[in-house]
Amino acid sequence: MNHYQILIIGGGTAGITVAAQLKRKDKELKIAIIEPSEKHYYQPAWTLVGAGTFDYKDTEREEADYIPKGVDWIKDKATDITPKTNRVKTAKSGEVSYDFLIVAPGLVMAPELLPGLKEAMDKGVVCSNYTDPEHTWEVLKNFKGGNAVFTQPTTPIKCGGAPQKIMYLAEEYFRKSGVRNKTNVIFATPGTVIFGVPDFAKTLNKIIHERDIIFKPFYAPTKIDAEKQEIYFTYIKPGESSNCGVTSGNPIGEELTGDTEIKLHFDMLHLAPPQMAPKFIQESEISIQEGPGKGWVDVDIHTLQHKRFGNIFALGDVAHLPTAKTGAAIRKQAPVVVENLLKLIQTQNVGKASYEGYSSCPLVTGYGKMVLAEFKYDNVRDSDPVISKFVDTSKEQWSMWLLKKYGLPFMYWNLMLRGKA
């Protein structure tokens, strides 16, 4: 059986960044990454791919080019974690043992959790930037008017702002293509507000009002009928039942089909599929067994150390943290894991580095416009001290669009994955 001082599950943003930073601090560490994929994707650009302003090929690189020097790559899938014996099972390479484990496999798409979605996904007028952004672009180009519906599930999702970013770009594209005057752009979300941080919500509310976007909060999607092009929602506002505010003859053709069930016809539908932790994580002792965070990895929200198994850390999308699951969050989580783990190795006590929940959502609000929403735990605004000296990131900015399209991809491939940022 192969044994490593540090074993990392996942060669995505979190796994590679942490491995690169660890190797920079101490070349002697014996580290391996378990990752089955040959390709590595820069997913934040998929919003721009879906809007026809970024080439999908430019979001894809060879995984082999980013495994840090001196780190073993176990090209395989992790299938089971037994924390009491410090072992990870893999699909083909047998068991691997470890002194310390870093869990960062990300999350998985679970379209099967929304009836009708699996059959409809990425076909016809149903699209998702999360799975096939090139199909989204085809749908936008072919759209001739009617109800353009944008929605998201009740599960946690990566990049919580993505379902509305493509909506702003689509709305502008419909104006360019001459179909906007015969189109209803509808954003239906289980959420209570357009965005959780008040400063940014203010800007976004102004944008949806000025651009005549129909905002439907408390709308939780429950099933899709792709043949009939209908999506059903449950209205989840507490205390509301038979009156969901749906009147007959409304401009978007909503129908009340039950006490709180609403049926809506769509001529195009973009959605984030439901998402969940990988099965082997859910079934492992390292996940939360019951309650709201069930299935996600049980870590201290500041140290990122596992609450029950001291030699395990987790970061990225799979960790149960009350903040948005984004690449920007990983950029702040990685150094915390690295510092706290190295201290633990050297002194048997976890380090003092603390993650305060920083995440950011580059909210693209049109071609050439972006609001950079940065925040931390409890939805407190948390702007970058350097950027905010020059720019009010809560307003739409051309400079932030340039950052999104050129600056952030450059930083990702050349600095973050090399352990330098």
Q: ∠ CA(121), CA(160), CA(44), 5° rounding?
A: 75
Residue 234 token pair: 């449950």
CATH number (3.90.950.20, 3.10.20.30, 1.10.540.10, 3.50.50.60) of 115-274 reads 3.50.50.60
Condensed to tens digits (0 to 9), the pLDDT of residues 313-348 reads: 999 999 999 999 999 999 999 999 999 999 999 999
Check: CB of residue 42 under 8 Å from CB of residue 16. no
Query: In sequence order, which residues have a C-beta less than 8 Å from that of residue 407 and are 6 or more positions away?
Result: none
The DSSP code sequence of 384-395 is: -TTHHHH--TTS
Condensed to tens digits (0 to 9), the pLDDT of residues 164-179 reads: 999 999 999 999 999 9
Confidence of residue 387 (pLDDT cuts 50, 70, 90): confident
- The CA distance from 53 to 26, in Å, is 41
- The CA distance from 319 to 176, in Å, is 41
Distance of CA 329 to the CA centre of its chain: 10
Alpha helices (H) along 26-143? 46-50, 117-120, 133-142
Report the SS3 class of residue 96: strand
Residue 123 token pair: 């076909």
Query: In sequence order, which residues have a C-beta less than 8 Å from that of residue 386 and are 6 or more positions away?
Result: none
Give yes or no for residue 243 having a pLDDT over 90.
Answer: no
Give the residue numbers marked as catalytic.
Answer: 159, 361
CB atoms within 10 A of CB 24: 13
Question: Can you give the three-state secondary structure of 296-334, one letter per residue?
Answer: CECECCCCCEECCCCCEEECHHHECCCCCECHHHHHHHH
Condensed to tens digits (0 to 9), the pLDDT of residues 252-287 reads: 999 999 889 999 999 999 999 999 999 999 999 999
Residue % of the chain over a pLDDT of 70: 99
Q: Can 2-107+277-355 and 115-274 be said to share one CATH topology?
A: yes
The residue to which tokens 């603390």 are assigned:
354
Distance of CA 43 to the CA centre of its chain: 9
Beta-strand pair 268-271/126-127: parallel
Condensed to tens digits (0 to 9), the pLDDT of residues 92-144 reads: 999 999 999 999 999 999 999 999 999 999 999 999 999 999 999 999 999 99
Condensed to tens digits (0 to 9), the pLDDT of residues 352-364 reads: 999 999 999 999 9
Check: CB of residue 278 under 8 Å from CB of residue 105. yes
Check: CB of residue 242 under 8 Å from CB of residue 172. no
Annotation: CATH topology of 2-107+277-355: FAD/NAD(P)-binding domain (3.50.50)
In the chain, domain spans: 2-107+277-355, 115-274
Query: Which of 399, 393, 391 is closest to 368 using CA atoms?
Result: 399
Q: What 8-state DSSP symbol labels residue 56?
A: G
Check: CB of residue 50 under 8 Å from CB of residue 133. yes
Confidence of residue 385 (pLDDT cuts 50, 70, 90): confident
CB atoms within 10 A of CB 310: 14
Q: Count Cβ atoms within 10 A of the Cβ of residue 410 and give its class: 0-12 exposed, 13-18 middle, 19 or more buried.
A: exposed
Condensed to tens digits (0 to 9), the pLDDT of residues 174-193 reads: 999 999 999 999 999 999 99
Give yes or no for residue 295 having a pLDDT over 90.
Answer: yes
Report the SS3 class of residue 171: helix
Beta bridge partners, 290, equal: none
pLDDT recorded at residue 386? 78
